[in-house]
Amino acid sequence: SQVFEEISPADFFYRNRDIAGFTNPSRAIFASIRELVENSLDAAELAGVPPDIYVRLTFGEGGSQSGIYKLRVEDNGSGITSRHIPSAFGQVLFGSKYKLKQARGTFGLGGTMAVLYGQITTHKPASIVSSTGSTKIYKYRIMIDIQRNKPIILERKIRINKERWHGTIVNFSLEGDYFRAMPKILEYLKQTALVNPYANITFVDPKGRLYKFMRVTTKMPPPPKETLPHPYGVDVETVKRLIQITRHRNILDFMRTHFHRTSEKIAHKFLEFTGIPKSKNPKNLGPQEIVKLVQMMKRFEEFRPPSASCLSPLGEDLLRVGILKELKPEFTAVCQRKPSTYSGHPFIVETAIAYGGEIPKKGDFIVYRFANRIPLLYDEASDVSFRVIKNMNWRRYKISPDMPIAVLVHICSTKIPYKTVGKEFIADRPEVKREILNGIREAARKLKRFLSKREHVEREKRR
Amino acid sequence: SQVFEEISPADFFYRNRDIAGFTNPSRAIFASIRELVENSLDAAELAGVPPDIYVRLTFGEGGSQSGIYKLRVEDNGSGITSRHIPSAFGQVLFGSKYKLKQARGTFGLGGTMAVLYGQITTHKPASIVSSTGSTKIYKYRIMIDIQRNKPIILERKIRINKERWHGTIVNFSLEGDYFRAMPKILEYLKQTALVNPYANITFVDPKGRLYKFMRVTTKMPPPPKETLPHPYGVDVETVKRLIQITRHRNILDFMRTHFHRTSEKIAHKFLEFTGIPKSKNPKNLGPQEIVKLVQMMKRFEEFRPPSASCLSPLGEDLLRVGILKELKPEFTAVCQRKPSTYSGHPFIVETAIAYGGEIPKKGDFIVYRFANRIPLLYDEASDVSFRVIKNMNWRRYKISPDMPIAVLVHICSTKIPYKTVGKEFIADRPEVKREILNGIREAARKLKRFLSKREHVEREKRR
Ligand SMILES: Nc1ncnc2c1ncn2[C@@H]1O[C@H](COP(=O)(O)OP(=O)(O)OP(=O)(O)O)[C@@H](O)[C@H]1O
Ligand SMILES: Nc1ncnc2c1ncn2[C@@H]1O[C@H](COP(=O)(O)OP(=O)(O)OP(=O)(O)O)[C@@H](O)[C@H]1O
Ligand SMILES: [Mg+2]
Ligand SMILES: [Mg+2]
């Protein structure tokens, strides 16, 4: 007969670490660097400062043949309050990004996965140094109790923070294969610099080579603001949880307080639509009444569409600046679409087409994909953006794949429809697909105009 | 400053249910049916009986327009002992398949995800009836406390099991879109019948239409046996856990008892190779000594390769029988490769090419992919088998895509390298890729021989 077991989420992602992107030593080095760099970028933006990020990868004690490396990532971000540092890196499904607000982080998993992978391949602890800019800097040495999904604190030190530094330094050892991973790591850093042109990223590789991606501006997009759930985006579980925590004893105030852009007037109209009396205590709604309430929310057509204040698109200027800095094209067409939603989640698509200059002719378009300012480098063929580009009728715009062209797609959302825990590619959501298609068409129109104008000028010259 | 939260694994998969395959109402109906059918097939094979599985999908109380369905899946499998029933369906990361033994289930997640999805879309409890063939049949009505990842038992009933029935019946409501999902559901059941030709599968759809997939044999492959970890497949964490639980006080007996096919003689040789004295108490190994032990395990070349007793391939006869029953080709070439390993996990590839008869001409090969006797129906282009078929040189075998040909690939392993939690497609592991390629080539050779023999016969006829 069957023998049952329960396992912790750390154990689940330990056993299935390839599902989180830690497939083999080469991929794991890439995954560790990207998870930590994305955490650092989030942290600097949270602190409202242009990010300064230092990544150093060195050979471990066994030297260059042992396959063991040491990874150190330092940032000038918001830092982490002392009591949360061990769990931030020693517990899976623990984090500060479970909010309705655009961020690179979303699962509460990445940083801990990197530390976990290091631990299972080298059995060495990780060291985390952090300060929020207070009078103290905290240093922890931790390991992870994988079966309990809890950090093990081996050491905790405090020192005085004279310069009121704020930031985080993560240091750990891991098995890897840098030489195999190198092209992807460098491509990742370059594309990160492109889509975050206000960031300084410095990388020292195991051979001591220095790569510097310098900022060309200190201008940053306005930060996103946390938002309330939208009536079109909730289900029974979410509404149940809101009812559990609400202090309101009538459903009118409940609707008005807990839902996005739901004024008293709209809440009134909605409750008339449902036939539920305004004074009804939400805690007295029965299970099927809650189901009906949620169904009614989907059918009521007068809720205002979600605002995009929880999003933070790059904007056409910054996108152009980043493309110029890293791709050096002759001409760039950018387009920022209006906010849209899928399944109640707001999103914005930004596209660009870069032509000529240092863009190489590859016989096909070079596709760059970004989500919440994260470059996506794997599984191109499965990604919705790639499919849109493949199936689009480019001849309408007199653009062909043998031209030196790069097509860039950036999606920002409170919930990127990632297909995988490893954030490799984006699922095919009809609303998102439509926005990508229209965004690329708009950019293609601009390029077509530039090319025909240029052709016209050349013809004039030849007369 | 950052506000931290921890979430349960049920909450993680609730928020990210598209990562588990529950993307939208149409996909969720498919996912629910496949998760329950796979559980039933595992259970019947565990009980050693040819599976009888009944799937019934009906319109919910709102009728055909409400988008609410009721799903009922019944099997004649091993059943579940009473005290484990609530957690089996009410707790994520709980199950009986966390062993080193081939099974369809692997994550401890699927059945609970189906119940969870039903709950968040309809707020109705699920009912589970089960017996292991004892004197009692147990019926539970449960919901899931998602934030705690625990079942909520609403009702528990016992009745006498007069006929000593064994099996499980799962009943729950869910939001869905059957008419969109129907082609995929029917294709799934047909391919399941193909790769499990000893199973009876009956499906009644919401319109009352009956689909019967009848067994053509009661012969089943020998069941897999649970195995020990292999020295080539372990890492520091696994060895640490074995050291914690071992009752042996010397490392020789530790190696001999806890590792696959490690006899006393081989354990001796290995310990001489490492320089660790045979009498060393494994619990006295320091962290870096454990790391060195694991590295030595990877380098010692005299461990016997993993045996395939933990696997249960279909076998050429059953595969042929299943293909004939569901595809009715004129000719079938099958091939079962020898056991191989990737990252220490044993696997076997079985391939087949079916030609002519009722196989339609589609202008390209029809690809059927299976893993541990589960059909994979999504993300074909990302799957390793599809890529092998696309890039193979078929002209060598005088086979071209305009012929009526289906190519089937079945991989069995103690750990299928799924890329996603939704078990949609298989990652590109070099060892697996090589076995698939060689397996298809072998089958292609057989088809080539058949075609040239037939061509020869036809030429003779025309003289
Ligand atoms: N460099 C850093 N600076 C400040 N806070 C950090 C840093 N790295 C991690 N954190 C904190 O630790 C938490 C957990 O990080 P982790 O990478 O595991 O998850 P996440 O970023 O929330 O989500 P994801 O798994 O999608 O990356 C973060 O939410 C953040 O609050
Ligand atoms: N029909 C059934 N008959 C017998 N046992 C079952 C049945 N359905 C589920 N179980 C038991 O409940 C456990 C949990 O099922 P669940 O589908 O959630 O996970 P799993 O099958 O182990 O893994 P996976 O997530 O890969 O499907 C199973 O491991 C099995 O022991
Ligand atoms: Mg992160
Ligand atoms: Mg299952």
B84 contacts on A by Cβ (under 8 Å): 2, 4
Residue A212: pLDDT band (50, 70, 90) is: very high
**For residue B233, what are its two tokens?**
């497949």
pLDDT < 50 regions, chain B: none
Residue pointed to by tokens 């528990």: B156
DSSP A306: P
Burial class of B279 by CB neighbour count within 10 A (0 to 12, 13 to 18, 19+)? exposed
**Closest ligand to B78 CA?**
2
CA distance B308 to B233: 14
Report the amino acid identity of residue B85: I
DSSP A364: S
pLDDT at residue B344, as a whole number: 84
For residue B3, how far is its CA from the centre of ligand 1 (angstroms)? 11
Rg (CA), chain B: 25
Q: Are B341 and B311 in contact (CB under 8 A)?
A: no
Q: CB distance B236–A119 less than 8 Å?
A: yes
pLDDT at residue A343, as a whole number: 86
Question: Shortest CB distance from A7 goes to which of B108, B382, B418?
Answer: B108
Residue B417, classed as helix, strand or coil, is coil
**Cα A283 off chain centre by:** 36
Q: Which residue of B has its CA nearest to A9?
A: B9
Q: How far is A299 from chain B (nearest CA, A)?
A: 13
**Closest ligand to B113 CA?**
2
Average pLDDT in the A91-111 region? Answer: 97
Residue A463: pLDDT band (50, 70, 90) is: confident
Average pLDDT in the A130-136 region? Answer: 98
Residue (of B184, B238, B243, B192) closest to B213 by Cα position:
B192
Report the amino acid identity of residue B127: S
Q: In the predicted model, is pLDDT for residue A324 greater than 90?
A: yes
Residue pointed to by tokens 């559901």: B185
Q: Are A355 and A331 in contact (CB under 8 A)?
A: yes
Please give the sequence-ordered ranges of beta strands (E in DSSP) within A133-165, or none if there are none.
Answer: 136-145, 150-160
What is the largest distance, in Å, between two alpha-carbon atoms of chain B? 90
Instruction: Write out pLDDT tens, residues A18-42.
Output: 999 999 999 999 999 999 999 999 9
- B252 phi-psi bin (left φ>0, alpha ψ -120 to 50, beta other): alpha
Instruction: Write out pLDDT tens, residues B140-182.
Output: 999 999 999 999 999 999 999 999 999 999 999 999 999 999 9
Residue pointed to by tokens 């461990």: B303
Best mutation target, A3, A8, A11, A12, to test chain B (most B CBs within 10 A): A12
Q: What class has domain A9-213?
A: alpha beta
Residue A374: pLDDT band (50, 70, 90) is: very high
Residue B120, classed as helix, strand or coil, is helix
Question: Shortest CB distance from A236 goes to which of B12, B121, B418?
Answer: B121
What is the SS3 string spanning A177-230? CHHHHHHHHHHHHHHHHHHCCCCEEEEECCCCCEEEECCCCCCCCCCCCCCCCC
Whether B39 lines ligand 2, by a CB cut-off of 6 Å, is: yes
Q: Are B75 and B53 in contact (CB under 8 A)?
A: yes
DSSP assignment string, B304-359: PPPPSTT-----HHHHHHHHHHHH--SEEEEEEPPPEEETTEEEEEEEEEEESTTP
Question: What's the Cα-to-Cα distance from A75 to each of A56, A348, B115, rounded to whole Å?
Answer: 12, 28, 43
Q: How far is B291 from chain A (nearest CA, A)?
A: 6
CA distance A35 to B461: 68
B237 contacts on A by Cβ (under 8 Å): 14, 119-120, 146
* Cβ-proximal residues to B407 (8 Å cutoff; 6+ apart), any chain: B351, B352, B353, B365, B366, B367, B368, B389, B440, B443
B5 contacts on A by Cβ (under 8 Å): 94-96, 98, 108
Beta strands B5-6 and A94-95, pairing class: antiparallel
Q: How far is A432 from chain B (nearest CA, A)?
A: 14
Q: Are B372 and B196 in contact (CB under 8 A)?
A: no
Residue pointed to by tokens 């791709």: A327
φ, ψ for residue B233, nearest 5 deg:
-105, 0
CA distance A37 to A31: 10
A379 contacts on B by Cβ (under 8 Å): 382
Q: Are B172 and B126 in contact (CB under 8 A)?
A: yes
Residue pointed to by tokens 């930590």: A36
For a substitution probing ligand 1, which of A42, A81, A100, A134 has the most ligand atoms within 8 Å of its CB?
A42
For residue A110, how far is its CA from the centre of ligand 3 (angstroms)? 5
Q: Are A310 and A414 in contact (CB under 8 A)?
A: yes
Q: Between chain A and chain B, how many beta carbons pairs sit less than 8 Å apart?
A: 148
**For residue B391, what are its two tokens?**
């890039």
Residue A76: pLDDT band (50, 70, 90) is: very high
Exposure string over A263-276, b if 16+ CB within 10 A, otherwise e = eeebbeebbeebeb
Nearest-CA residue for atom 28 of ligand 1: A95
* Cβ-proximal residues to B261 (8 Å cutoff; 6+ apart), any chain: B230, B303, B304, B306, B307
For residue A51, how far is its CA from the centre of ligand 1 (angstroms)? 15
Residue B139, classed as helix, strand or coil, is strand
**Cα B300 off chain centre by:** 32
φ, ψ for residue A240, nearest 5 deg:
-55, -45
For residue A7, how far is its CA from the centre of ligand 4 (angstroms)? 15
Indicate the CATH number of B316-461 among 3.40.50.720, 3.30.230.10, 3.20.20.70, 3.10.180.10: 3.30.230.10
CATH 1.10.8.50 is held by the domain B231-299: yes
Residue (of A399, A392, A388) closest to A449 by Cα position:
A399
Domain borders along chain B are 9-213, 231-299, 316-461
For residue B121, how far is its CA from the centre of ligand 3 (angstroms)? 30
Q: How far is B265 from chain A (nearest CA, A)?
A: 28
Q: How far is A117 from chain B (nearest CA, A)?
A: 10
pLDDT at residue B62, as a whole number: 82
Q: CB distance A123–B288 less than 8 Å?
A: yes
Q: CB distance B93–A8 less than 8 Å?
A: yes
Whether B74 lines ligand 2, by a CB cut-off of 6 Å, is: no
Q: In the predicted model, is pLDDT for residue A85 greater than 90?
A: yes
CA dihedral for A48, A216, A34, A342, sign (positive or negative): positive
Q: Which residue of B has its CA nearest to A2?
A: B96
Residue (of B352, B279, B282, B283) closest to B314 by Cα position:
B352
Report the amino acid identity of residue A311: L
Q: CB distance B3–A95 less than 8 Å?
A: no
Q: Which atom of ligand 2 has the smallest separation from the CA of B46? A: 4
Q: Are A416 and A429 in contact (CB under 8 A)?
A: no
Terminus-to-terminus CA distance in chain B, angstroms? 90
* Cβ-proximal residues to A196 (8 Å cutoff; 6+ apart), any chain: A41, A51, A322, A373
Q: CB distance B80–A2 less than 8 Å?
A: yes
Instruction: Write out pLDDT tens, residues B346-398.
Output: 999 999 999 999 999 999 999 999 999 999 999 998 899 999 999 999 999 99
Ligand 1 binding residues, C-beta < 6 A? A 35, 39-40, 43, 75, 77-80, 88, 95-97, 105-112, 168; B 2
Q: Are B308 and B253 in contact (CB under 8 A)?
A: no
* Cβ-proximal residues to B64 (8 Å cutoff; 6+ apart), any chain: B206
* Cβ-proximal residues to B16 (8 Å cutoff; 6+ apart), any chain: A107, A421
Q: In the predicted model, is pLDDT for residue A422 greater than 80?
A: yes
**Closest ligand to B40 CA?**
2
Q: What percent of chain A has pLDDT over 70?
A: 100
Report the amino acid identity of residue B233: G
Average pLDDT in the A166-190 region? Answer: 97
Burial class of B159 by CB neighbour count within 10 A (0 to 12, 13 to 18, 19+)? exposed
For residue A114, how far is its CA from the centre of ligand 1 (angstroms)? 11
B15 contacts on A by Cβ (under 8 Å): 98
DSSP assignment string, B59-107: E-TT-TTS-EEEEEEEE-S----GGGHHHHHHSTTEES--SSS--S--S
**Closest ligand to A114 CA?**
1
DSSP B29: H
Which helix or strand (DSSP H or E) is residue A97 part of?
none
For residue B106, how far is its CA from the centre of ligand 4 (angstroms)? 7
Q: Are A142 and A136 in contact (CB under 8 A)?
A: no
Q: CB distance B7–A98 less than 8 Å?
A: yes
How many of the other CB atoms lie within 10 Å of CB of A127? 18
Q: CB distance B80–A121 less than 8 Å?
A: no
Q: How far is A267 from chain B (nearest CA, A)?
A: 23
Residue A161, classed as helix, strand or coil, is coil
Q: In the predicted model, is pLDDT for residue A1 greater than 80?
A: no
For residue B104, how far is its CA from the centre of ligand 4 (angstroms)? 7
CA distance B40 to B203: 14
Exposure string over A25-56, b if 16+ CB within 10 A, otherwise e = bbbbbbbbbbbbbbbbbbbbbbbebbbbbbbb
Which helix or strand (DSSP H or E) is residue B135 part of?
none
Q: Which residue of B has its CA nearest to A294?
A: B121
Q: How far is B11 from chain A (nearest CA, A)?
A: 9
CA distance A290 to A280: 12
Question: Shortest CB distance from A18 goes to which of B6, B122, B417?
Answer: B417
Residue pointed to by tokens 């005088």: B398
The stretches of A16-64 forming alpha helices (DSSP H) are 25-47
Q: CB distance A23–B427 less than 8 Å?
A: yes
Residue (of A91, A80, A61, A88) closest to A173 by Cα position:
A61
Q: In the predicted model, is pLDDT for residue A47 greater than 90?
A: yes
Q: In the predicted model, is pLDDT for residue A126 greater than 80?
A: yes
Higher pLDDT, A428 or B165: B165
Q: Which atom of ligand 1 has the smallest separation from the CA of A94? A: 14
Vertex A26 angle, CA B416 and A152, to 5°: 80
Q: Which atom of ligand 1 has the smallest separation from the CA of B4? A: 31
For residue B80, how far is its CA from the centre of ligand 2 (angstroms)? 9
Nearest-CA residue for atom 28 of ligand 2: B95
pLDDT at residue A344, as a whole number: 84
